[in-house]
């Protein structure tokens, strides 16, 4: 049967308003503009209209109408994914899920919580502090109002990712609305009332992780939480050489001493201190700031962990490494109050957004730590050669089985020439990370298309088959993971 003609925005708005009530359907020019762009250099495109959902039933109603009339639906919460992943490239409906913001359950005994899409990092922190101080969660550097559920679906990284891997691995199961409006539950909850594990079921949860909303709209998620730790310390060590710094990081990550290890290069520290672009580094200044989180419920364990840390640092120095003495974050905050951004969770990186023109983009990637040093140095070189401060953020993940290499650019979104330079820069960086064995995460559509030829043909075939099976009319966030399959 031929596809019915796509209704115009007026007709679509009437259909949706009839089902949901007129207050939930927005069409003013300012709203359409805001939902049609993000922080990045990815070209914007306005939706035909925006719908605010308040319940799973709302999501089902929207998806059913969209599917019947072959209208794209793009789910969004804060839209701060930093990859153009919620820009409605083909127009249609942007489905704003921010109002679905209930933490439906926190199960202390079985260590999970059930969240709706709009639940933010700040919501989780407040809830655990208030009602469940015995539990903790991992926090990203993302602004506190952004979505935890979206982060897990995008397989993100947090301060507990060295211990527990990327956030996609923390999901016990989801409730998702499929393209025909029906509901699917995954994980053990497909069979049992308990939401405490994704195992031992066939992993249908994976159908929603890293698919960027192109296979279904997740309306609930069970995600793991962990026992809180009574003592936590964050130490900073300034280093002057990439090879020496990352040799130390790799030695330490294998000892299970730290909850988190991260590295940020010098321009990020300058931005934190409020300096504006262009940024300069005196050759006598450190190249990279490493930070280390150590935590335990037992003071004896804290002492032992800090002794191991000190011993490994001494060994790194004895091998020729140049490192400053460790600084406790509490002392750093006393010296420079802006360090407070690094002192608590959710960590606040607002300073990356707070600059003229407000543009932020990156090529973030996961890959082999054996290639870290080469990737960092080559990435910094490319950024510097093109006149951008070489901001690099790194973190070992999942016990050091892989590492994060995130090459960040802040830019002026109002300056079209700079936006073009940023596009060219990111193309070069995307190619570089792949060459080093790293895979871009939260993968922008243009990166998928750029690297499509390098994808395994079987992967392309099965990916296409999965999407055709779940969303035969390809209404769900079209443009994401389009590989030609």
Ligand X SMILES: Cc1cc2nc3c(=O)[nH]c(=O)nc-3n(C[C@H](O)[C@H](O)[C@H](O)COP(=O)(O)OP(=O)(O)OC[C@H]3O[C@@H](n4cnc5c(N)ncnc54)[C@H](O)[C@@H]3O)c2cc1C
Q: Centre a 10 Å sphere on the Cβ of residue 399 and count the other Cβ atoms it contains.
A: 13
> Using CB under 6 A, which of the segments 68-76, 269-277, 291-299, 453-461 binds ligand X?
68-76
Q: Cα 354 to the chain's mean position, in Å? A: 19
User: What are the φ and ψ backbone dihedral angles of 31, each rounded to 5 degrees?
Assistant: -60, -45
Q: Please tell me whether residue 157 binds ligand X under the rule CB under 6 A.
A: yes
The single residue listed with the structure tokens 């053990």 is 188
> Using CB under 6 A, which of the segments 212-220, 313-321, 414-422, 424-432 binds ligand X?
212-220
- Of 218, 235, 231, 348, give the one whose Cα is nearest residue 293: 235
Pairwise CA distance, residues 375 & 101, whole Å: 39
CA distances in angstroms from 476 to 92, 154, 418, listed in the order given: 10, 16, 32
Q: Centre a 10 Å sphere on the Cβ of residue 442 and count the other Cβ atoms it contains.
A: 20
Q: Please tell me whether residue 91 binds ligand X under the rule CB under 6 A.
A: no
- Of 262, 423, 233, 242, give the one whose Cα is nearest residue 328: 233
Name which of 217 and 313 has its Cβ closer to ligand X: 217
> Using CB under 6 A, which of the segments 102-110, 210-218, 238-246, 294-302 binds ligand X?
210-218
* Smallest gap from residue 263 Cβ to ligand X (A): 13
Identify residues 114-133 at the interface with ligand X (CB under 6 A). Answer: 117
Q: Please tell me whether residue 205 binds ligand X under the rule CB under 6 A.
A: no
Would you call 288 helix, strand, or coil by DSSP? Answer: strand
Segment 299-302 long-range contacts (CB within 8 Å, at least 24 positions apart): 299/231, 302/231, 302/233
> Using CB under 6 A, which of the segments 69-77, 271-279, 285-293, 463-471 binds ligand X?
69-77
Would you call 296 helix, strand, or coil by DSSP? Answer: strand
Q: Please tell me whether residue 141 binds ligand X under the rule CB under 6 A.
A: yes
Q: Please tell me whether residue 42 binds ligand X under the rule CB under 6 A.
A: no
Which residue from 25, 218, 271, 447 is in contact with ligand X, where contact means CB under 6 A? 218
Q: Please tell me whether residue 40 binds ligand X under the rule CB under 6 A.
A: no
* Smallest gap from residue 205 Cβ to ligand X (A): 12
For the chain, first and last CA: distance in Å?
Answer: 22
Which residue from 46, 72, 213, 444 is in contact with ligand X, where contact means CB under 6 A? 213
Which residue from 26, 51, 65, 97 is in contact with ligand X, where contact means CB under 6 A? 97
Name which of 244 and 347 has its Cβ closer to ligand X: 347
Copy the structure tokens of residue 13: 């708005």
Q: Please tell me whether residue 74 binds ligand X under the rule CB under 6 A.
A: yes
Name which of 195 and 323 has its Cβ closer to ligand X: 195
Q: Please tell me whether residue 409 binds ligand X under the rule CB under 6 A.
A: no
CA-based max dimension of the chain? 74
Sign of torsion, CA 186 188 189 194? negative
Residue 473 burial by Cβ neighbours in a 10 Å radius (0-12, 13-18, 19+):
middle
Identify residues 319-378 at the interface with ligand X (CB under 6 A). Answer: 349, 352-353, 360
Pairwise CA distance, residues 155 & 85, whole Å: 14
> Using CB under 6 A, which of the segments 125-133, 141-149, 261-269, 322-330 binds ligand X?
141-149
Which residue from 25, 61, 80, 223 is in contact with ligand X, where contact means CB under 6 A? 80
Cβ atoms of residues 228 and 136 within 8 Å: yes
User: What are the φ and ψ backbone dihedral angles of 317, each rounded to 5 degrees?
Assistant: -70, -40
> Using CB under 6 A, which of the segments 150-158, 242-250, 259-267, 417-425 binds ligand X?
150-158
> Using CB under 6 A, which of the segments 23-31, 147-155, 195-203, 313-321 binds ligand X?
147-155
Q: Which residues bind ligand X (CB under 6 A)?
A: 74-82, 85-86, 97, 117, 140-143, 146-147, 150-151, 153-154, 156-157, 212-213, 217-218, 349, 352-353, 360, 477
């Amino acid at each position: 049967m031929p596809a019915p003609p796509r209704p115009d925005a007026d007709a679509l708005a009437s259909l949706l308003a009839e089902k949901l009530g007129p207050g939930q359907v927005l069409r003013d020019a300012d709203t359409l503009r805001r939902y049609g762009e993000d922080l990045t250099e990815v070209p914007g495109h306005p939706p035909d209209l925006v719908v605010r959902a308040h319940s799973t039933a709302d999501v089902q109603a929207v998806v059913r109408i969209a599917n019947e009339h072959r209208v794209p639906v793009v789910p969004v919460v804060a839209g701060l994914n930093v990859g153009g992943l919620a820009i409605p490239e083909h127009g249609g409906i942007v489905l704003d899920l921010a109002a679905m913001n209930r933490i439906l359950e926190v199960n202390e005994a079985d260590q999970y919580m059930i969240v709706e899409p709009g639940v933010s990092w700040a919501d989780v922190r407040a809830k655990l502090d208030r009602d469940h101080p015995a539990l903790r969660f991992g926090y990203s550097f993302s602004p506190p109002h952004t979505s935890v559920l979206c982060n897990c679906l995008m397989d993100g990284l947090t301060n507990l990712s060295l211990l527990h891997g990327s956030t996609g691995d923390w999901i016990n199961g989801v409730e998702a609305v499929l393209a025909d409006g029906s509901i699917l539950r995954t994980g053990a909850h497909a069979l049992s009332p308990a939401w405490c594990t994704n195992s031992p079921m066939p992993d249908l949860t994976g159908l929603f992780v890293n698919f960027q909303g192109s296979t279904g709209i997740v309306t609930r998620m069970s995600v793991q939480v962990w026992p809180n730790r009574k003592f936590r310390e964050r130490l900073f060590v300034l280093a002057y050489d990439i090879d020496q710094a990352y040799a130390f990081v790799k030695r330490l990550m294998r000892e299970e001493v730290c909850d988190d290890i991260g590295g940020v290069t010098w321009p990020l520290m300058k931005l934190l201190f409020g300096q504006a672009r262009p940024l300069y580094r005196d050759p006598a200044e450190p190249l990279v700031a490493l930070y280390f989180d150590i935590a335990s419920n037992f003071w004896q364990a804290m002492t032992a962990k800090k002794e191991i840390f000190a011993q490994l640092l001494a060994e790194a120095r004895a091998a020729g490494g140049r490192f400053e003495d460790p600084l406790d974050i509490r002392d750093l905050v006393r010296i420079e109050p802006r360090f407070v951004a690094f002192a608590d969770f959710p960590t606040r990186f607002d300073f990356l957004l707070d600059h003229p023109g407000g543009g932020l983009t990156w090529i973030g990637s996961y890959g082999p730590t054996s290639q870290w040093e080469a990737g960092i140095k080559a990435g910094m070189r490319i950024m510097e050669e093109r006149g951008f401060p070489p901001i690099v953020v790194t973190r070992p993940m999942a016990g050091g089985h892989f590492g994060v290499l995130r090459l960040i650019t802040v830019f002026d979104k109002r300056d079209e020439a700079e936006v073009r330079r940023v596009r060219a820069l990111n193309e070069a960086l995307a190619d570089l990370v792949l060459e080093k064995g790293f895979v871009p995460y939260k993968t922008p559509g243009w990166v998928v298309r750029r690297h499509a030829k390098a994808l395994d043909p079987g992967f392309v075939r099965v990916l296409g088959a999965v999407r055709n099976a779940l969303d035969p009319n390809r209404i769900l966030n079209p443009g994401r993971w389009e590989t030609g399959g």
